[in-house]
Amino acid sequence: MEFEPSKQCHLRQLQQLKKKLLALQQELEFRTEELQTSYCSLLQYQSLLEKQTSDLVLLHHHCKLKEDEVILYEEEMGNHNENTGEKLHLAQEQLALAGDKIVSLERSLSLYRDKYQTSLSNIELLECQVKMLEGELSGIVSQDPENKGDHSKVRIYTSSCMIQEHQETLKRLSEVWQKVSEQDDLIQELRNKLACSNALVLEREEALIKLQADFASYTATHRHPPSSSEDCEDIKKILKHLQEQKDSQCLHVEEYQNLVKDLRMELEAVSEQKKNIMKDMMKLELDLHGLREETSAHMERKDKEVVILQRRLQELQIQFTETQKLGLKKDKLLQEKDEMLHELEKELAQVQNSLMKKEMELEKQQRMTTELELTIQEVKQDKSRAECGTLRAEIQKLKDSLEETQQQQKLAAQQAAQYKEEILLAKNNLEDAQRKLQSYTFLEKQKTETIQELQRELQKLQKDSLIAGEELAPNRKRIEELTSELSEARRKLEISEKEKRQFQKTTAEQDMKLNELLEHLKILQHQQREQASAKTSLTEELQEVTRLLEEKREQLKKSKEQEKLLELELETFQQEEKKKEKMTKESLRMLEEENENVKAQLMQCSTQLDSSLSKQNASQQVIQELNNELVLQKEALESLQIQLDKAVQKEKQYIQTMVSKEAYEELSRKSAACQDDLTQTLEKLNHTTSETKSLHRSLAQAQERKVQLEDEIIAYEERMKKLNMELKKLQGFQQQSELEVHAFDKKLEEMSNQVLQWQKQHQSDLKMLAAKEEQLRAFQEEMTALKENLLADEKEPCCLPQRSAPKESCRIRRENDQIMSNMEQWAKEQNHLHNVMVHLQQENKKLKTEIEEKKLKTGHPRLYTKALGPSKTEPIQKGKVCATLGWRGTAQDMSQRMDITKFVGIPHCSEQVDTFC
């Protein structure tokens, strides 16, 4: 009976621990829900990033295509330059004058290439800025719903601000991902701790069950109070130990609660950051479409500019090849001049070598003379003075000759020094001469060694002369040989003087050449000055080019505004096309009627022409007949005049002869009748001439009318041809548009069918989730009922039989096992549902990418937007798809997501978040 309150305390503590564990589990579920919402938002953000990366890949692909086209153009230019090489040889004379300009053009070419590279880099920067601007525009549109249509106002923001904000968003994303990873680590640690605590709780429950069994057996065997106090003390110690463990567990639970609170705060901050990021990304999506169109127009303009620059490059390359050829010629001339200089230097070195050799020979001769003098002095002492006198005379002569030769050598040395100084001033190539001098010094050393050997020989000769004083004949012969050697030395000196003169001539020629080189250098300096002036002119041209570039930039801005107007005009033009089709049909009908009328008029004109021709022929016949009649009448008149003359003569004769009056009257009547006939014939002639004139006029008018009608017929035929061509073009455009519309309708039907299937699957998944929620609620109700039963069992009096306790514990254990198995099954089902949802999202992404690729392939986004309806941009379509799937951006949907994601397994969420981080 004493153990019953302690047992109740243990049970209460266990119930408290279970409650705390349930609270912790609920908090963990809530945290998992929040993590799943963040996971969904991260998936959406990842899809947006994938779209942006695909757009970037496409833009890079376009840039690579443009670069390949430029390389092809350059290769074609190289082939063209090879083909035009023969023509350039003929134009080299004219291009010699333009050499200075070509150097400047080469520099301008390098500048243009640098500008082209900078333009490519600027294009990439502009693409980045465009994306940033899209993000900012979408953000502004989402914040200010009243200003949804005023996209043009938002474009005023500078690119630097956009870049900074984009960097801030990236930093936020990195911070969020770091926090998410940290939270995942904390959650894993908490899970591990919970697992440990659950294991400890199970162990302690087993220990309690064992204690209860022991206590029941003890009470059964020992109904009387314990006799020994030692057992009581042991039990008290065990209870104290259990209480200490419970206190430590309570502290751990409090720590876990604090950690859970901190996690909640961090998750709230992360969710707010994610909401802001999602808003920013929605802002980015809104103006992507318009900015893509602007970039496409900008790229087209850049392509046009690239074509112009390529033409300029072709011209510059032609000029560059010409300058290269001129430079090669100049290099050849310089090489020839360098070779001439090297040859002159070699000649100078040879002359110096010859001079040095001659000087060495003179020194040898001087030494020989000194040696001879010594020998002669020694011989004088031994021999007769007479012979010595002769020898002295000869020696003096030799001395005089030697002095003369020395003076000549000094003069030659002075001249050589002067020449050396002049050569040193002209060229600074003494290093080679010094090397050669070193070799000469080596030779001199060898010569000194030979001189020493000669001195030794002289000493030997002196000894021999002392021994053989009588042998003077060979000495005389030796003197004669020396004199012959002196004569040879003089000859050599004369030869050396001649060589010096030749050397002077060569040096003079070299001086002339040096002067020519100096003049050439002056000419080159003058050319350099001209090149400097050309550089200044090129700098001015560059400034003008920069101004033109600024003007082009302004024109680009204007062209952007014009593009907007053109878009409106395109819409109006497409409306007008339909009107034009109707008008063309009506005009065709009118033209057909006009053709019929013209044909009728042509028939009438042809009939009139035929009738007029027949009339003309008839009139010509009548004119011929009248002419014949006129001839006959003229003949008759002539005959009548003759008759009149005869009658007059007869009258005169009758008057003279006094013929009767009756005959005279008859003749007068006949003359009057003849005159009447003449007047009538004249009137007929006048009438016929007037008729012929009128017929000629009518013929001329008919011919003019015929020419006019023929011209009109030709004009009508040309107009009909043009109209037929326009009709064919319009029909072709209509057929293309109809085919595109049919294809797009088919795609829309397929998409709608897929969307309906997804909706059905989604509804079925929602039904499954609702059923699972009901099962969860039922499990929770069962848990609450079990807790109530446990509390009721604890509150019951202790008079119940003690054997019922193990049965209840076994029943509770079985119920707990069933609950755990049900929870495991539920987790598996939730994992399956999560995988299905991920598969659906992947299919949705694939379909979106396919639609975007097809739009890019067709290259007519406007037609698609018009075929779809009033949607202006792509994000709105995305919103429609999301609306069909049930993913609406409202608070209710977020709550639904929270309800849906309650059932997703915790480990899967953490693993997926780790993969994204």
- Chain segment 93-124, per-residue pLDDT in tens: 655 665 565 565 566 556 656 655 665 666 67
- What's the distance, Cα to Cα, between the start and end of the chain in Å? 60
Q: Where do we find the tokens 């390359």?
A: 317
Q: Can you say whether residue 188 is alpha, beta or left, with left for phi > 0 and alpha for psi between -120 and 50 degrees?
A: alpha
Per-residue pLDDT for 873 more than 70?
A: no
CA distance 208 to 202: 10
Q: List the structure tokens of 536.
A: 């200044």
**Closest alpha carbon to 409 in 351, 506, 492:** 492
pLDDT value of position 893:
43
Question: Whole-angstrom Cα distance, residue 429 to residue 490?
Answer: 33
The C-alpha atoms of residue 740 and residue 49 are separated, in whole angstroms, by: 29
Tens digit of each residue's pLDDT (9 = 90 or more) over 203-246: 766 776 776 676 666 666 654 444 445 666 776 777 777 777 76
The average pLDDT across 45-70 equals: 73
Report the distance separating Cα 42 and Cα 327, nearest Å.
Answer: 65
For 463-473, the pLDDT digits (tens) are: 766 665 666 66
* The model scores a pTM over 0.75: no
Question: Are 108 and 312 a contacting pair, CB within 8 Å?
Answer: no
907 and 321 Cβ atoms separated by less than 8 Å: no
Question: Would you say residue 249 has pLDDT above 80?
Answer: no
Token readout for 168 is 């801030």
* CA 529 – CA 518 distance, rounded (Å): 16
pLDDT band (50, 70, 90) for residue 483: low
pLDDT band at 141 (very low <50, low <70, confident <90, very high): low
Where on the phi/psi map is residue 801: left (φ > 0), alpha (ψ -120 to 50), or beta? Answer: beta
Of 589, 913, 608, 605, give the one whose Cα is nearest residue 720.
Answer: 589
The predicted model gives 629-651 an average pLDDT of 71
**CA atoms of 552 and 122, how far apart (whole Å):** 15
Q: Where are the alpha helices (DSSP H) in 796-870?
A: 804-858, 861-868
pLDDT in tens, 326-345: 778 877 877 787 787 777 77
- Opening angle at CA 54, ends 139 and 744, nearest 5: 90
List b or e across 317-341, with b for residues whose CB sees 16 or more CB atoms inside 10 angstroms: bbbbbbbeebeeeeeeeeeeeeeeb
- Alpha-carbon distance of 76 to 310, in angstroms, equals 11
Question: Rounded mean pLDDT of 476-490?
Answer: 69
In three-state secondary structure terms, 750 is helix
Digit-coded pLDDT (tens) for 569-606: 667 766 777 776 777 677 677 767 776 776 676 677 66
Residue type at position 448 = T
pLDDT tens, residue by residue, 142-166: 665 544 444 444 444 445 665 666 6
> Does the pLDDT at position 888 exceed 50?
no
Residue position matching structure tokens 């011929």: 624
Confidence of residue 127 (pLDDT cuts 50, 70, 90): low
Q: Which of 24, 496, 70 lies closest to 264, judged by CA?
A: 24
Q: CB pairs under 8 A, 24+ apart, for 351-360?
A: 351/499, 351/503, 351/506, 352/420, 352/433, 352/436, 353/436, 353/440, 354/496, 354/499, 355/412, 355/416, 355/496, 355/500, 356/440, 358/492, 358/493, 358/496, 359/409, 359/413, 360/443, 360/444, 360/447
**Rounded Cα–Cα distance for residues 608 and 699 (Å):** 10
Is pLDDT at 307 greater than 50 in this prediction?
yes
